[in-house]
Amino acid sequence: MKKLWASWRVEYIRSEKVKGCIFCQKPEENKDSENYILFRGKTSFVLLNKYPYNPGHLMIAPFRHLATLDELTDEELFEHFDSVRSSVRAIKEAYKPEGFNIGINLGLVAGAGVEGHVHTHIVPRWNGDTNFMPVLSDTKVLSEALASTYAQLKEIIARNMRRT
């Protein structure tokens, strides 16, 4: 049997599982680097996905606990999608991806991992990033640690984001 080491996952295995909404709790902790929060705007924030599909996978969420896009004010909606646009620019600068998956899963049946708090995923993609590992062995190999991704994107995102 071949072994694939993913030593960074031990932190998740040993950690106390968060009860409640991570998008409400993490900003209140004021531990941005520990929680991988890249940017705080007036109405929303940007953070790395702690269990990414690819390096640079991040999420944007409003500070208010809202389940749908209809509940966002115009100001929240603008800042949210302006943050999507700015985040894509930052990821392009840092990682030079060949494409992106950008999505919002509304409701459990749609794949929402955090149901009840609307958020947008941005996943950079490269030709060949889906290879034999996930297809044959249900294993995804990530080539960069989260702390490195955070350091790479933090400065670029701060430079590219608007502070409304």
Q: Of the candidates 28, 100, 51, 41, which has an alpha carbon nearest to the alpha carbon of residue 72?
A: 41
pTM, 2 dp? 0.79
**What are the tokens at 97?**
């991806």
Q: Predicted confidence band at 164 (pLDDT cuts at 50, 70, 90)? A: very low
The predicted structure's pLDDT at residue 12: 59
The 10s digit of each residue's pLDDT in 4-49 is: 555 655 665 676 766 789 999 999 999 999 999 999 999 999 999 9
**What are the tokens at 26?**
């993490």
Q: Of the candidates 154, 146, 143, which has an alpha carbon nearest to the alpha carbon of residue 46?
A: 154
The 10s digit of each residue's pLDDT in 52-66 is: 888 899 999 999 999
Q: Which residues carry out catalysis?
A: 119
| Under 8 Å between Cβ of 83 and 39 | yes
The predicted structure's pLDDT at residue 136: 40
**What are the tokens at 83?**
């943050």
CATH of 35-160, one of 3.40.50.300, 3.40.190.10, 3.40.50.2300, 3.30.428.10: 3.30.428.10
Q: Judging by DSSP bridges, how do beta strands 37-40 and 44-48 pair with one another? A: antiparallel
Residues forming a β-bridge with 1:
none
